[in-house]
Amino acid sequence: VLCWFYIFPGYRLPRDKEIVEEVLRQGEAWERNQTGIDLYRKLLTECCDPKRMFAVTKENSPMGKVLWYDGEFYHSHTVNNETYPLFVQDNPLQLPLKKCAVVGNGGILRHSKCGRDIDRADFIMRCNLPPLSKEYVEDVGTRTHLVTANPSIIEKRFQNLLWSRKAFVESMKAYGSSYIYMPAFSMKPGTDPSLRAYYALADTSSDLTMLFANPEFLRTVGKFWKGRGVHAKRLSTGLFLVSLALGLCEEVTAYGFWPFSVGLDEKPVSHHYYDNILPYKWFHAMPEEFVQLWHLHKSGTLRIRVGHCP
């Protein structure tokens, strides 16, 4: 039942219509449910201890600690003289965070006018260094407190930082003084680009603070959702952030989560708010993830914004 559609070259099959109908049936109705919020914070704390574990810190990863890569088997990094000094001392976030906005990159955000709503949150998380240029501000806002960066972006967009670092440092300015959260120890080829990104920022006295995602945290969060019917090889970045937010925030609103080909008006919707490049891997998991998030929305544990903001 959960495997809703198969990917054909270039386009996706229906059943999206059923989701649209379900979301329209629910309408704008949403009621915060403190019991649900407390329950999920407890479940996530028990499985994954986000407060202590979400980043690699000097406290949870002392010298000699073996970090097992969560994205591949039998690879590890042993914390040493070179890597230990790059870790923050401890979780640097001022907890608890109050209202959090988790912004996915779905095309549903385009023309949503959710920018103001997003910017009103106390803590704003974004995925994969998304564009925040003028044309998108009205829809996605301007403020950021934590943004993820996949090492593959460093490779593709910034020539792996082997040549100039200027373009990278410049484009990071869009994220102000936020935390940049990189899965440096998830896949072996991602470690070097992540360390280079760290140095590019440190050497230019950037306002950003690098946080390396703790592979143990990513693995336990993956297990948590697997036990709840998300059968992906790997969770999407957005679901990792929602899980983090459920563990750390008093209230969570998610924007830009809509992995379907039509919007609420049944008109086509692009995959991202800034392009329509479909992912080639793991895409099949996003609808499963959405079903989970939708359950949480219906139970008042978090709020999903689909469509326009008031």
How many residues bind ligand CDP, per CB under 6 A? 18
Nearest to 116 by CA among 140, 135, 136: 140
Q: How far apart are CA 243 and CA 218, in angstroms?
A: 10
Which C-beta is closer to ligand CDP: that of 190 or that of 259?
Answer: 259
What is the closest distance, in whole angstroms, from the C-beta atom of residue 204 to ligand CDP in the complex? Answer: 25
What is the closest distance, in whole angstroms, from the C-beta atom of residue 133 to ligand CDP in the complex? Answer: 16
Q: Which residues pair with 253 in a beta bridge?
A: 101, 303
Q: Which residues pair with 102 in a beta bridge?
A: 125, 254
286 binds ligand CDP, rule: CB under 6 A:
yes
Applying CB under 6 A, among 69, 257, 261, 306 the residue interacting with ligand CDP is: 257
What is the closest distance, in whole angstroms, from the C-beta atom of residue 308 to ligand CDP in the complex? Answer: 17
Q: Which residue is nearest to ligand CDP (CB)?
A: 238
222 binds ligand CDP, rule: CB under 6 A:
no
Q: How far apart are CA 94 and CA 310, in angstroms?
A: 30
Q: What are phi and psi of 106, to 5 degrees?
A: -60, 145
What is the closest distance, in whole angstroms, from the C-beta atom of residue 33 to ligand CDP in the complex? Answer: 22
57 binds ligand CDP, rule: CB under 6 A:
no
Nearest to 132 by CA among 178, 65, 98, 92: 178
Identify residues 118-147 at the interface with ligand CDP (CB under 6 A): 127-128
List alpha helices for the chain, DSSP H.
16-26, 34-48, 50-53, 115-119, 134-140, 151-157, 166-172, 188-203, 215-226, 237-248, 285-298
Report residue 258 as tokens.
């809509």
Applying CB under 6 A, among 20, 55, 77, 106 the residue interacting with ligand CDP is: 106
Q: How far apart are CA 79 and CA 90, in angstroms?
A: 16
In the three-class reduction of DSSP (H, G, I as helix; E, B as strand; rest coil), residue 210 is classed as strand
Q: How far apart are CA 268 and CA 218, in angstroms?
A: 33
Applying CB under 6 A, among 50, 238, 247, 263 the residue interacting with ligand CDP is: 238
Q: How far apart are CA 50 and CA 48, in angstroms?
A: 6
What is the closest distance, in whole angstroms, from the C-beta atom of residue 120 to ligand CDP in the complex? Answer: 20
175 binds ligand CDP, rule: CB under 6 A:
no
Q: How far apart are CA 46 and CA 50, in angstroms?
A: 9
| Interface region with ligand CDP, contact rule CB under 6 A, candidates 68-76, 111-119, 133-141, 250-258 | 250-258
Question: Between 237-248 and 215-226, two packed helices, what is the crossing angle to 10 degrees?
Answer: 90
Identify residues 64-103 at the interface with ligand CDP (CB under 6 A): none
What is the closest distance, in whole angstroms, from the C-beta atom of residue 63 to ligand CDP in the complex? Answer: 32
Applying CB under 6 A, among 50, 104, 115, 263 the residue interacting with ligand CDP is: 104
What is the closest distance, in whole angstroms, from the C-beta atom of residue 271 to ligand CDP in the complex? Answer: 5
What is the closest distance, in whole angstroms, from the C-beta atom of residue 216 to ligand CDP in the complex? Answer: 20
Can you give the binding site for ligand CDP, defined by CB under 6 A?
104-107, 127-128, 236-239, 256-259, 271-272, 279, 286
